[in-house]
Amino acid sequence: MEWFITLLLNLPHVSYLSSSLPSILPLQLAPPASAHPYITNMISASILVSIIAIALQFFYALLRLKMTDMQKLRRMMKEVNDWRREYMDAMRKQDKDKIEKLKGKQDYMNRLNMEVMQMNFRPMIVFMIPMLIIWWAVLPQVFGHTVAISPISLNIVGDLLPITCTKGIIVKDVNSITEELIKHAEGLQNSIARDQVTSLAREARELVDAGQYIHARDRILAAYGIVNANLENKVQERVPSCTAENEVLLWAWYAIASIAFSGIVMKITRTEMSVT
């Protein structure tokens, strides 16, 4: 198992994907976004998120340069990969003498594997602290749930790990939020306000079923406005993740930008892990 994990870490670009780990969490674990993000323009949002993703890639590269002896790491990885290549070749040829000879180095190679893993994980662990702060506390409040729009659906694995918005996601969000609003309405002493909130919640459901997502969002925000106007302890506003189908979710756009530019960043910073 150790060699398999190390192999994954040693594949081209995979170690850089660790800088995108928080952004590829399942949607249900994504941080709550603000109902009133600072940047709502899709073009501006997509450009800024891309710049942030690239800047964090450079930060991660600098951490690796500072905390890792790259020459030693490459040398160790080459030694492990060469041994693994010879071992697999001997297995294919059923060369028992060579297999036994190579097995004699297996303990040493396992120790190298563990050291390679530690060298890869040290900068990643340090990087995760500012990354999580930015991901959970900054990005969702500045940009909201989505930051770009795609001409087609990018949900390769369907709703298991959605990248772009679907009507199903929007309907699910609206149903969940309106149920919450109706519960809040039941606790209001003002019967007029209670009826208004309930009516707006039901209207939002009807609008989303008809595909009028933005209008549904407006009704939800109006309902929250009435609720909070009649409560001493204000409730946090929630809005649907998307206002249109095929909008690209924040975490997905960040991950796409990180992966797309990771190779360029590695070339510039000379932290690529080629061991050929």
pLDDT (mean) for 66-90: 89
Other beta carbons within 10 angstroms of residue 38's beta carbon come to 10
Q: Does residue 245 lie within any of the structural domains? A: no
pLDDT (mean) for 119-144: 85
pLDDT band at 173 (very low <50, low <70, confident <90, very high): very high
Provide the number of structural domains found in the chain: 2
Percent of the chain with pLDDT over 90: 46
pLDDT (mean) for 215-225: 95
* pLDDT mean across residues, the chain: 84
Query: Are residues 214 and 174 part of one domain?
Result: yes
Distance (Å, whole) CA 127 – CA 259: 16
Q: How far is CA 168 from the centre of its chain?
A: 20
Q: Does residue 109 lie within any of the structural domains? A: yes
pTM of the model: 0.77
Number of residues in the chain: 276
Query: Are residues 220 and 136 part of one domain?
Result: no
Query: Are residues 121 and 46 part of one domain?
Result: yes
Domain of residue 187 covers: 167-229
Q: Does residue 162 lie within any of the structural domains? A: no
Query: Are residues 69 and 14 part of one domain?
Result: yes
Query: Are residues 190 and 53 part of one domain?
Result: no
Distance (Å, whole) CA 210 – CA 216: 10
Query: Are residues 192 and 138 part of one domain?
Result: no
Distance (Å, whole) CA 173 – CA 28: 11
Place of tokens 């409730």: 235
User: What Cα–Cα distance (Å) separates residue 131 from each residue in 138, 156, 175?
Assistant: 10, 26, 32
Q: Does residue 260 lie within any of the structural domains? A: yes
Q: Does residue 176 lie within any of the structural domains? A: yes
Q: Does residue 110 lie within any of the structural domains? A: yes
pLDDT (mean) for 257-269: 90
Query: Are residues 130 and 12 part of one domain?
Result: yes
pLDDT band at 13 (very low <50, low <70, confident <90, very high): very low
Query: Are residues 174 and 141 part of one domain?
Result: no
pLDDT band at 94 (very low <50, low <70, confident <90, very high): confident
Residues 188-208 pLDDT 10s = 999 999 999 999 999 999 999
pLDDT (mean) for 216-245: 93
pLDDT band at 21 (very low <50, low <70, confident <90, very high): very low
Percent of the chain with pLDDT over 70: 87
Q: What is the pLDDT of residue 31?
A: 57
Query: Are residues 190 and 68 part of one domain?
Result: no
Query: Are residues 180 and 112 part of one domain?
Result: no
Q: What is the pLDDT of residue 137?
A: 79
Query: Are residues 173 and 50 part of one domain?
Result: no
pLDDT (mean) for 224-244: 92
Q: Does residue 275 lie within any of the structural domains? A: no
Query: Are residues 70 and 137 part of one domain?
Result: yes
pLDDT (mean) for 85-89: 89
Between residues 16 and 155, the one the model is more confident about: 155
Whether residue 251 is predicted with pLDDT greater than 80 in this model: the reply is: yes
Q: Does residue 237 lie within any of the structural domains? A: no
